[in-house]
Amino acid sequence: MIELSAKQLADAIARGDVSAAEAFETYRARAAADELNAYTWVAPEGTTAAPMSADAPLRGVPLGVKDLFCTEGVPSQAGSRILEGYLPPYTASVVQRLAEAGAPLLAKTNQDEFAMGSSNENSAYGPTRNPWDRERIPGGSSGGSAAAVAAGSAPWALGTDTGGSIRQPAAMCGIVGLKPTYGSVSRYGMIAFASSLDQGGPLTRDVTDAALLYGQMIGQDPCDSTSLAHPETIALPTAERLDGIRIGVPRADLAADGIEPGVIAAFDATLQRAQELGAELVDIELPHAEHALAAYYVIAPAEASSNLSRFDGVRYGLRHGGDEGLMAMYTHTRHDGFGDEVKRRILIGTYALSSGYYDAYYGRAQQVRTKIADDFRAAFGRVDLIATPTAPTTAFKLGEKTADPLSMYLGDLFTIPYSLAGLPAISIPCGLSDGLPVGFQLGGPAFSENRILDAAHALEQAIGFEPLEIS
């Protein structure tokens, strides 16, 4: 059963070859035996999948859910001590939609605290390990979801992507990760990091599974005023060729320092395959992309400093120092509840929004963001899709970059521009470098997910990437 893709498992359940209850218990047992620290909560023994309609499209295939999504009565801690043991009174809209479509909650997956990180080492509940090499990171912040899917302890999982937190761990773990168009997936019940950037999306074993899961996630939500109705129904991809597709390649961005030769080699080999499938490669320029990282690390921390001000010990979660007065309670709760990376970003964001600095930092960063969106708009006037590596390196060793935040931030070099512009992008595995997976990123205009999924499917079939052997 565990060798089947989610789509294949759904089909097997529909045929009666296996029951939804058998599928749930098989994966529940595997998740409970997890040795990667990929989970923060697993459905207890004896849990059964809820009844579903006979035509439920997801057929009872169990779902791993990043701990950033609220789930009623189930710990939802955002990887932070400040929410340790928090049991929400409601369920996030997207999790509820998927449950109604037939995907029961299997487990909550580990993550960087409040989704702030690129390695899953910032979790208050310990780092997740990469199933390809347990001495290495799985990527972040959705590292638990990526590791669980790659290791076969979940058939698919939900993650969130603010600056690359679905795509980068997908690349590091050799699976597929889709960051949707901003607004196409409801953020209601998704604990906020940076509200103008956060977006939920699927992490799966293949592109077909990504399309199947994403198709049940989309839709306008009255509980989220930023959500939008997707103009297209998401179809399962069938393309085997790329004839007529123009793929833009920003060559100048690929000359940046810090990109590993093995990553470039796998990327170039994938471009060659795209040409063999009929695609036309076009050199393009994204002149403001080099400023994306700097702009992001002003905008995202600024929004985080505002969003995280609600965690103060008054209404829910951790409370320390309550006997010493209100200010002491705020101080002790936030000091003890937040980790170092979260504190770092709160301080950066508060400074950027402070009087006298708002225009110089936050206002300027938003202007850069507009320029980046304009660059993409111009590029997509010439090409259909844009290709880059997903990450400049393969998975690095645990602890290797924890003392160097800037080096860690550079891991999102290729993913952040799409986040700032609110555009969709997918990461698919395209090969190995020194035995570790390399990700290939394809991005497109807003709401072009069907085109992206089709192209990614054609490449996936041509690449023939061998996933991690599941035992």
56 HSE (CA, 13 A, CB side): 22
In a domain, 198, yes or no: yes
Tokens of 444: 């497109």
What is the tally of structural domains in the chain?
A: 1
Tokens of 111: 């993550």
pLDDT for 284-336, tens place per residue? 999 999 999 999 999 999 999 999 999 999 988 999 988 889 999 999 999 99
Q: Which residues contact 297 (CB under 8 A, 6 or more apart)?
A: 348, 409
In a domain, 303, yes or no: no
Q: Which residues contact 421 (CB under 8 A, 6 or more apart)?
A: 369, 372, 373, 376
In a domain, 162, yes or no: yes
In this prediction, residue 48 carries a pLDDT of: 80
Q: Which domain holds residue 174?
A: 6-243+424-463
In a domain, 335, yes or no: no
pLDDT for 90-132, tens place per residue? 999 999 999 999 999 999 999 999 999 999 999 999 999 999 9
pLDDT for 343-384, tens place per residue? 999 999 999 999 889 999 999 999 999 999 999 999 999 999
In this prediction, residue 218 carries a pLDDT of: 98
In this prediction, residue 407 carries a pLDDT of: 86
Residues 166 and 202: their CA atoms lie apart, in Å, by 8
In this prediction, residue 323 carries a pLDDT of: 84
Phi, psi of 280 (to 5 degrees): -105, 125
In a domain, 197, yes or no: yes
Mean pLDDT of 415-439: 98
Mean pLDDT of 265-288: 98
Give me Rg for the CA atoms of the chain: 21
Sheet of 105-109, strand order: 39-42, 105-109, 63-66, 156-161, 199-204, 176-179, 425-433, 436-443, 385-389, 246-249, 280-283
pLDDT for 234-265, tens place per residue? 999 999 999 999 999 999 999 888 899 999 99
In a domain, 269, yes or no: no
CATH of residue 127: 3.90.1300.10
Q: Catalogue the active-site residues.
A: 66, 141, 165
Mean pLDDT of 145-168: 98
Tokens of 22: 């058998």
pLDDT of residue 177 exceeding 80, the answer is: yes
Mean pLDDT of 160-169: 98
pLDDT band at 55 (very low <50, low <70, confident <90, very high): confident
In a domain, 418, yes or no: no
Nearest to 159 by CA among 264, 65, 295: 65
pLDDT of residue 198 exceeding 80, the answer is: yes
Tokens of 41: 């909560």
Residues 131 and 147: their CA atoms lie apart, in Å, by 6
Residues 442 and 248: their CA atoms lie apart, in Å, by 10
The more confidently predicted of residues 190 and 323 is 190
Mean pLDDT of 25-53: 93
pTM (predicted TM-score): 0.97
In this prediction, residue 367 carries a pLDDT of: 97
DSSP label at residue 126: -
Residues 371-410: b if buried by 16+ CB within 10 A, e if exposed: bbbebbeebbeebbbbbbbbbbbbbbebebbbeebeebbb
- For the purposes of burial, counting CB atoms within 10 Å of the CB of 261, is it exposed (0-12), middle (13-18) or buried (19 or more)? exposed
The DSSP string of 311-336 is: -SSSSSS----GGG-HHHHHHHHHHH
Low-confidence winner among 208-212, 404-408, 431-435 (lowest mean pLDDT): 404-408
In a domain, 324, yes or no: no
Residues 294 and 364: their CA atoms lie apart, in Å, by 11
pLDDT band at 203 (very low <50, low <70, confident <90, very high): very high
Average pLDDT score, the chain:
96
Percent pLDDT > 70 in the chain is: 100
Nearest to 161 by CA among 112, 208, 125: 112
In this prediction, residue 328 carries a pLDDT of: 94
In this prediction, residue 257 carries a pLDDT of: 84
